Structures are given as C-alpha cells and as structure tokens.
Amino acid sequence: MKQLLFAFYFIFCQIQLVGQNGYNLWLDYKKLDDKIIETEYSFISSIYLLNDNNDEILNTAKNILTDHLSTLLGKKIMSEKSQKTDQITLTINTDAVDINGEGFYITSTSNALKIEAKTNKGLLYGTYCLINKIHRKEKIKNININESPKIQNRILNHWDNIDRTIERGYAGFSIFNWHELPEYLDPRYEDYAKANASIGINGTVLTNVNANAIVLRADYLDKTAALANIFRKYGIKVYLTARFSAPIELGCLKTADPLDPQVRLWWKNKIDEIYQKIPDFGGFLVKANSEGQPGPQDYKRNHADGANMLAEPLKKYGGIVMWRAFVYSHEVNEDRFKQAYKEFVPLDGQFAENVLVQVKNGPIDFQPREPFHPMFGAMHKTPLILELQITKEYLGQGTHLVGLAKMYEAVLQSDTYVKGKGSTVAKIIDGSTHNYKITGIAGVANIGTAFNWTGNLFGQADWYAFGKLAWNPYLDASNIFKEWTAATFPNHDKKVAEVSNWLLEHSHEACVNYMAPIGLHHIMAEGHHFGPGPWVDSLFRADWTSVYYHKANKDSIGFDRKNTGTNALSQYHPEVQKLYENLSTCPDEFLLWFHRVPWTQQLKSGRNVWQELVLRYDQGVSKVTEMKSKWDSVKGLVDKETFRSVSDHLNIQSKEAQWWRDACLAYFQSRSQLPFPSETIPPPRDVDYYKSLNYPYSPGIKPKW
C-alpha cells in the first residue's frame, strides 16, 4: 500500500512540476480566443502528409501539427489520408529551388495552406514556424514564406559533468542522468528536444569541455545512443567532448601523441565503435592545451596535428571536429588577448576540411562587453564557429535579468573589414565571406533541472535568441524579444509584453554599466566569478587577477593595447585598428580595453574618466531600479508565481547592482584619490569592508574549509 501511495505521490509531483509556469517555455500552447480563431484560423480542419513514409521526423512534424493545432484551435485536428481543399498539406519536394536541405516554404490561400521542403528536417522546421506563428496570433492567410538556415551546425554546448554538476551552471543540476541511462529515459529529454527543434537548433554537445574520458567507454556510448534515439526524431545530432588523453586513460597506451600510429588506430577504432551505436553521431568538441587540459602541445605537436588526427576517421561518416581556440599558456607571459591568434592564425589552411575552429565572441572570456575576437578577421581558409555564452558566468549568473540578444547582435554585426567594409562576423561564420564549406555557431547552455529550465524566467529568452540568431544571424534583437514575449505571455494584457520587451531591451546595457563600464573587464571576484573583485591581485597566474587588466593607480587606469603597449590591436584589420587606437574615435564602451588614460582625461561627453565611471555605475543601478518598477506595474496581469519569481530575482539584481557599484567605486576612488562628484552619493563603506565579504558557497567554487 505504501508503495502505491508513493507512486501516486510521485506522479502528482511530476504533474505539478510540468504544470508550473515556465516549464513549457515558449511552447505553452493554450486555446486561443474564439474571435481570433474565427477570423484567422477557422479554415484549418485537418492535415495531409503527401509523402507519408513512416519516417520518424515526418511523424514528429505530423504529431506537432495535430496535437498543438487541436489545443490552439479548440477542436480536433486530424491527419487525413486523402487530400482536401481546406487543410494543411505537408510535401517533400526534392526539386524545390531557393531553399537548402533544412529550408521550407509556407504558402497559403484563403482556405488552404502548404508546407513544402526538400527534406523531412525542412518540414519539421516549417511545421514549427507555422504553429508558432499561430501561437503568437499572427496572420497566416495569403502568406508566402521562404526560409532556410544560414548556418549549418547550430549547436548547444553543455558544460555538464557526468556527476550532474554543471560548470558555470546556475539553474540546478544537469538534466542528463547518466547513472540511470540507458534504461530510464526521463520525459524531460523529449521536452528538451522539442524546445531546441522549435528554434532550429540541430545539435547538442552533451558533456563539459573540461572532458572526462569515461564518456567514450562502451557503456557510456550506450547511454549516449539512448539520448540520440530520442533527439533524432527532432532533427538533433549528439556530439561529445573528447579528452585528448583518452588513449592513455581508456586504452592503456603510454602516449596520446597525435602522430603515433597506435594512438591514431585507437581513435579510429573508437570512432568506428561510436558510429556502430550512433549512425548519425555529429562528432567531437575538443578543449586542448588550455587551463590544464591535455593536448597535442604536450608532445610538441600543434593544434592542427591534434584536430586532424580526429578528423580523418570522422570524415567517412560525415562527422566534424570543433576545436576550441580558447587557449592561453602558462609559459607565455603575454597579453591573453593575443595568444589564441598567435597559436591558430599561423595554422590557417593546415586543418582538415571537416575541422572547425571554435572562437569565443571576444578575446578574453565572456566578459559583459568585449570587442570582437580578432581571429574572425584572420582565418581565411579555416571555418570558424562563433561561441556565445547563454549561461551568465560574468553577467549576474542565474539571478540577473540580462537580455543577451542585444549582445549577440552587436558581435554579429561587428565589421572585421577583412574583405572590405561590411565583412561582419555574421558573414564570416555563415561562410559567405570566405566560402567555408562547413559553418557553425555554438551557445554555452544555461539550462538545468530548475522547474522552468533556466532558473530566471527571462533566461529562457537568451536560449530562444541564440536559436533564432543561429538560424539567421542577421535578425533584429528587438524583434526576437517581441517574438519571445508574445509566445511566453500569449493570452495576457498587452502591457505584459510591452514591459517584458522593455526589460530585455535595456537590461544588457544596465548590466555593463553596474559591472564594467567604459571598457573595464575581468574585475570579478576570484574563482566563482560572483560579485565584484577589482582588487584581486595575487593568484597563480597574473592574467587571472583583476589588477592585471585595469592597472589602476593614482594617475591612470586601463590596458594599453596599442603599439605603445602590448600591440594587441595589430591583430585587427587596419580599419579596425584605426577606429580603436585613436582616442577621438574609440567608442567610450571600449576605452579601457585599448587605452591607458589619466583619470582626468576628457571624454566625448565632456566629463573626465573618473566622472564618467561614477556616472555609468550610477546609471546601471538606476536602470535596475526602473526595471523593478516596470515589472511591479504588471502585478495582477500575470499569475502570482510568475510575478513573484521575476520580482524576487529583480530584488536580488537590484541589491547586487548596488553592491557592484559601491565596491568598485570604493576601490577605484582609493586608487585615484579623486573626490566624488558633488551630485553623487559615495559608497557607504570603505574598500576594506567590500574586500572582506566572503561567499564560499557561490556557484562555481568550493569552500576553503
């Protein structure tokens, strides 16, 4: 009897979990108002799959339409076996022009609609496009849509460990329960796949870049295969992170030298084994010779040697290697800004054709704002993947509301000038500048076991935005925000959408201002990266400290990357150098990235550096206060739990924005010795107080006792 009661209790808890606001993400389909159904969608009565060959992806598309249209329209929508005039027809047309293999057409008349694609994946994406337009209450009569993804490999990178902890994860534990796989398949796996497919993501790297070789063991490959079997019907390939020393740790070899014949044979056999279990395995993501990870340089080989060793046996299966360029050496006492460029650019043209080099958006490490990485303007023969953060390691982690689409947009539209004006980062990674045969983009995932996946409800908007910009890197961030809010709050007062859009529009700039304005960077506390730490000055590596980057003293502040300093600017195209090296043209937001200037240096605003720094910190705090006020205005217009969750997180953000402002200004004033502007309230405590604050259990750090 007790077991029966426990079973009912478990089922009830699971139902409650799914029913809580936020679990269904932007796919929370509910019946539309009768008026809009009658006006816009009443002609839909059934669907017809012209090429019904029992393919699992086609079945997925068919089920999405029948299930969700039935919910949205409040009537049973059936899949018919014969074609009628007033229905949605799904058609595979291998001769379709003007679309690629994952593209689709949607066309309609007054009483019929057709989704057409070259492949089953194209029909799946067209299906989601249509269903989400209806969910957002958009008009579909007489529409004519022609869409294809501009980037081939659109991949989430999970920094999830086998023990279910997540490096830089702020939304609970990993959703992947390796211990219970392959026997127990959590229903959440399929919900995860649905969410990714709905925004065009077609790949997922299941494991942390700081890799564990055990994931390549035979029993763990069976576990991976179980996940691949679920994800496949949603058009999603699985990838794994390959630990470079796996031949030693798993194969009992004495070396992992990429030119050693035994090592190469071990990897060939392992890759053959993987494809026997997972025929559509995507390939490997590799972090090598970075932050203590093993790699080819351990054997006096280069990155191309290591990547090509893996690429060769993957090639016959259509697999790829994504080799990360986030490298900086213990032995090189040089500006970290420059190191990846110096290691990889000389190897351009030496990588196998199925190798892509994965480059973070900026040259340091996912800072609140960075200039684009100079490698995007320098690798003409090697496909580059752009790596973006969705998780917020340096942006308030899991509690701060920061709409990242604005940051993504700024990076994608940055001009490298590599082939003249207009050679944007977007045009580099979609292959149009250098005619890359393989293209890709990656986002470091922000999801976990939190009931709403991302912890902070608005963190869902960043996952959504990544997917949309991975499909089309030229989309407008503001329109993406509007889409997300329309899908997340579909049956709410229009004020909810207006406020949500406003929060997402203004939040990234606010965060930059209360954390790291006018080009400050890497000034967070050590280890966990939670909270301010501009005073951090004594760690194993100088470039892990904050003072290394701002070098603030009584006279000046900033990092000189011109030819009078580290000359990092020389890695950019001359037009980019020209923009940043001149104080009169360098945008204020990148001032301290490239210049060391006196505190009294006058800026374009007419204020000096110290005055501008104080003003920006104050503006950041004020904007968060305004964000709180805006959200308070929708009380009663959203359900209580959603309102409370967002409100509580904004309260945390407000408190921590003030902390960042006070701690940083107390420290920088102690360096400059300049008085606070008369209209400014000085920090309530001295810098020693802020230094004394200790958060040993912050996400990402182990306590010291």
Q: 512-692: which CATH topology?
A: Alpha-d-glucuronidase, C-terminal Domain (3.90.1330)
Query: What is the model's pLDDT at position 630?
Result: 98
- Looking at the DSSP bridge assignments, the partners of residue 160 are 166
The pLDDT of residue 7 is 42
Query: Would the pLDDT of 475 be above 60?
Result: yes
Over the Cα atoms of the chain, what is R_g?
26
Query: H helices within 151-204, ranges in order?
Result: 187-198
Q: Which residue has the higher pLDDT, 548 or 83?
A: 548
Give the model's pLDDT for residue 53: 81
Catalytic residue among 305, 335, 393, 462: 393
Whose structure tokens read 């309230």? 681
CA distances from 264 to 213, 354, 588, 648 (A): 16, 17, 50, 54
49 or 15, which is more confident? 49
CATH class of the domain defined by 209-462: alpha beta
Enter the tokens of residue 220. 């763990």
- Cis check: omega of the bond before 699, within 30 degrees of 0: no
Active site residue 526: no
pLDDT confidence tier of residue 185, bands split at 50, 70 and 90 = very high
Query: In 109-118, which positions are buried (b, 16+ CB within 10 angstroms) versus exposed (e)?
Result: eeebbbbbbb
Has domain 25-147 been given CATH number 3.40.1180.10? Answer: no
Give the per-residue pLDDT at 148: 98
Assign 282 a pLDDT band (cuts: 50, 70, 90). very high
Instruction: Check: CB of residue 311 under 8 Å from CB of residue 285.
Output: no
Backbone phi, then psi, for 687, in 5-degree steps? Answer: -65, -30
* Average pLDDT for 573-591: 97
For residue 134, give both structure tokens: 């209806």
Phi-psi region of 127 (alpha: psi -120 to 50; beta: other; left: phi over 0): alpha
> pLDDT per residue over 243-260, tens digit each?
999 999 999 999 999 999
Give the pLDDT band (50/70/90) at residue 237: very high
DSSP for 544-612, please give it: GSSHHHH---SSEEE---STTTT-GGGGS-HHHHHHHHSTTTS-GGGHHHH-EEETT-B-TTSSBHHHH
Tokens 């209450």 map to which residue?
Answer: 137
Percent of the chain at pLDDT > 70 equals 96
Residue 397: which residues within 8 A CB-CB, separation 6 or more? 170, 529, 530, 699
Catalytic residue among 365, 498, 505, 626: 365
Domains 209-462 and 512-692 share a fold: no
Task: For residue 286, count other CB atoms closer than 10 A to its CB.
Answer: 26
Does 701 score more than 70 pLDDT?
Answer: no
Average pLDDT value for residue range 310-336: 92
Query: Cα dist. 619→93, 625, 661, 690 in Å?
Result: 55, 10, 10, 21
Half-sphere exposure of 78 (CA within 13 A, CB side): 5
Structure tokens at 73: 């329209």
Domain ranges across the chain: 25-147, 209-462, 512-692
Percent of the chain with pLDDT over 90: 90
Active site (annotated) includes residue 462? no
What does the pLDDT average to over 272-276?
98
Residue 360 φ/ψ, nearest 5 degrees = -65, 160
Position 14 scores a pLDDT of 42
Query: pLDDT averaged over the chain?
Result: 94
pLDDT band at 147 (very low <50, low <70, confident <90, very high): very high
The Cα–Cα gap between 483 and 501 comes to 9
Mean pLDDT, rounded, for 650-669: 98
Residue 9, pLDDT > 70, answer no
| Close Cβ partners of 129 (under 8 Å, ≥ 6 residues apart) | 104, 106, 145, 147
- pLDDT over 90 at 290, yes or no: yes
Residue 509 falls in the annotated catalytic set: no
pLDDT at 519 over 80: yes
**Tens digit of pLDDT for each residue in 612-654?**
999 999 999 999 999 999 999 999 999 999 999 999 999 999 9
Given 33, 138, 219, 291, which residue is catalytic? 291
So what's the pLDDT on residue 16? 39
Quote the CA–CA distance of 476 and 637 in Å, as a whole number.
Answer: 28
Express each pLDDT in 522-581 by its tens digit.
Answer: 999 988 899 999 999 988 888 899 999 999 999 999 999 999 999 999 999 999 999 999
Position 385 pLDDT exceeds 90: yes
The residue type of 251 is G
* Residue 163 CB neighbours (<10 A): 11
Q: Tokens 């229009």, residue?
A: 494
Distance CA 365, CA 375 (A): 14
Tell me what pLDDT residue 17 has: 39
Classify residue 11 as left (phi > 0), alpha (psi -120 to 50) or beta: alpha
Per DSSP, what are the bridge partners of residue 241?
A: 285
